[in-house]
Amino acid sequence: MHHYWNATMIESELQRLGALNCLPLIQHITRNFIGFPSDGEQCDPAYQLLMHLQKMRSPITAREIYKIISTLDAFSWRGYIISPDKTPVYWNPLETPWVSFYPGRTKTITQTEWEYPPPDIIFHYCECFETALTP
């Protein structure tokens, strides 16, 4: 995938839109999906973010960015492992990079259910992340 050029172009779009303050959040989320098996570039969250941002007019608010993030196809994917007691352990893409979750878990299962988490959970996470970065 073209993570480097997507990241550079996303940064340029955020600057054009007056929302460069959202760059650390976007970098965090897109980094967490690196390595996750997806159905090609169009399902890549960085690519999808870039496509949404290119359609927007300046200026935009952080909440508009959060809304875009909450609709990414990547959030409809589930990654989980079956633990020794047969209980599924789910990957949380907001908190854990896929490359940290996946290694060493030979019974990892990936599936798509097209069941997005409620947008308010993603909004809340984005707000908390941004608040934590504000000095």
Q: First and final CA of the chain: distance in angstroms? A: 34
Domain that holds residue 94: 3-133
Query: How many domains, in total, are found in the chain?
Result: 1
Q: What is the model's pLDDT at position 1?
A: 44
Whole-number Å distance between alpha carbons of 62 and 119: 14
Q: What is the model's pLDDT at position 65?
A: 92
**114, 71 in Cβ contact below 8 A?**
no
What stretches in the chain show pLDDT beneath 70?
A: 1-5, 37-43, 76-89, 102-118, 134-135
